[in-house]
Amino acid sequence: MPDLRMTPRTSNTANCDTHDRGNECVSDKALSSFLQLIEASLAQKSFVTLVLAKPRKSQTPLTPPTQHQADAVRLTVRAITLKGQPILCVVTSHATRDETQNHTVPDGFLRLREWLEHAFSHAHLLTTHEEIQLLTSKKGK
């Protein structure tokens, strides 16, 4: 079951119900809560960085990963402003190189949801107030 942890100022763990989706169990409640926390931190300008780590071995995305995502070790997301527009800057780290892509906030959220559901097991959100972790087991629970 995905584990939602908040540290250092708060240390709550949210356990949520899971829904079977083929071979994987994904907690819609935990994922939605985590995405809402990301959205709120962006709106409050307290967002520092988001790190997606521990790639899943069996990726079953709704859309196939692009070549640069297929062998990604981790993703680091920062909020930046380009030409006056809010942008999510995504640095994809591979074994031998890093690649940077900029996404609009709505497009970035769609990609984040897909990456969290299918490609990465751990997510770490760092804000100016707290650190929040979303952890998923090997079985996708």
- Quote the pLDDT of residue 84: 93
Tokens describing residue 42: 């962006």
Tokens describing residue 121: 């097991």
- Quote the pLDDT of residue 104: 94
Write out residues in the chain with pLDDT < 70, as ranges.
1-27, 58-70, 138-141
- DSSP structure string for 26-62: E-HHHHHHHHHHHHHHHHTT-EEEEEEEEE-SS---S
- Quote the pLDDT of residue 139: 65
Residue 8's Cβ-count burial label (10 Å; 0-12, 13-18, 19+) is: exposed
pTM: 0.74
Average pLDDT, the chain: 77
- Quote the pLDDT of residue 3: 52
